[in-house]
Chain A
Amino acid sequence: MKKRAELIWIVLVVFTIFAYFLGQFDFVNTLMVGILLMTTFIKGELITDYFMSLKNVKLKYRMIPTIWLAAVMSSIAVAYYLPIQ
């Protein structure tokens, strides 16, 4: 796909605008935090797959940043959602 880099850039910008509006208009609630973390994960995946060109390398190399991203984002979600004693 010829304009793939441009498309990825647009998606990254759209997700960033979404995150900014959530913060700016104080829409940050439990549901929105989940969506925010999910879009951040997708942004990270787009950067590693397409900007870092890991999309077409062997799965074991591609999985290292994916596992890192999933571990970090899910741990942040646990820290956010886990009830405080």
Chain B
Amino acid sequence: MSKIVHLKESYPPGDFAIWIVIYIELLTFGLMFLGYAFSRRADIELFNASQSVLNQASGFVDTLILITSSYFVVKAVNTVKNARIENIQASNESASRWLLAAILFGIMFLINKLLEFSDIFSQGINLSTNTFFMFYLLLTMFHFMHVVLGVVILFNIRKRTKTLCYSEQNCRGIESGALYWHLVDLLWIILFPLVYILR
């Protein structure tokens, strides 16, 4: 009976530099999450009352959008990683379509978030309103900027698929961009229950 042995890769996918960025972002957001969680203990009633102003449905839709966008990016990376010499053009074209879908979902997230911010600001809420809204605006706006950068990165990766540059041997660039996008997704996946749901 033959046994399939899965060898472990020596290094993670993508460039070394992107992992440095990812670790720094994890550390930064991690501290902000803990800052929120422990500040909440100081005034639970204020945090719960302020949280009820937030639109949970909007946060839920944001999460679904980012998860789905991340899935599209996985499909794009898998497409180029499975490309052979004879089908490089078709693989890059297919990856380009998956990336376009991911970009559109990223833009949908940004539009939804802008609508949410506009609703919050129209109620006269700002960073100085109270500790909850200070954390809420800080966390979500900081994350928003990361999504903007992620969309720019995906746009540039997509542009490179037009020159048919990605293949099984040359996929570091698309892997690095994809990793950044998954990081943005990972951070939101914690932010959503922490800020919108937990009370």
Contact = CB atoms under 8 A, between A and B. Distances in A.
A66 B11 CA distance: 16
Interface residues of A, number: 44
Contact of A16 (B37, B41, B67, B70): B67
Per DSSP, are chain A's interface residues mostly helix, strand or loop, or mixed? helix
Interface in A38-85: 40, 43-44, 47-48, 50-54, 56-59, 61, 64-65, 68, 71-73, 75-76, 79-80, 82, 84
Main secondary structure on chain B at its contact with chain A? Answer: helix
B74 A51 contact: yes
B8 A40 contact: no
A82 B38 CA distance: 10
B67 A40 contact: no
Contact of A19 (B40, B71, B73, B197): B197
Contact of A28 (B10, B71, B189, B197): B197
Contacts of A79: 34, 37-38, 40-41
Contacts of A20: 56-57, 60, 63, 197
Closest 9 A/B residue pairs (Cβ) = A79-B37, A23-B197, A20-B60, A9-B71, A57-B9, A76-B37, A51-B182, A12-B67, A61-B12
Interface of B: 6-13, 22-23, 26-27, 30, 33-34, 37-38, 40-41, 44, 56-57, 60, 63-64, 67-68, 70-71, 73-75, 77-78, 175, 179, 182-183, 185-186, 189-190, 192-194, 196-199
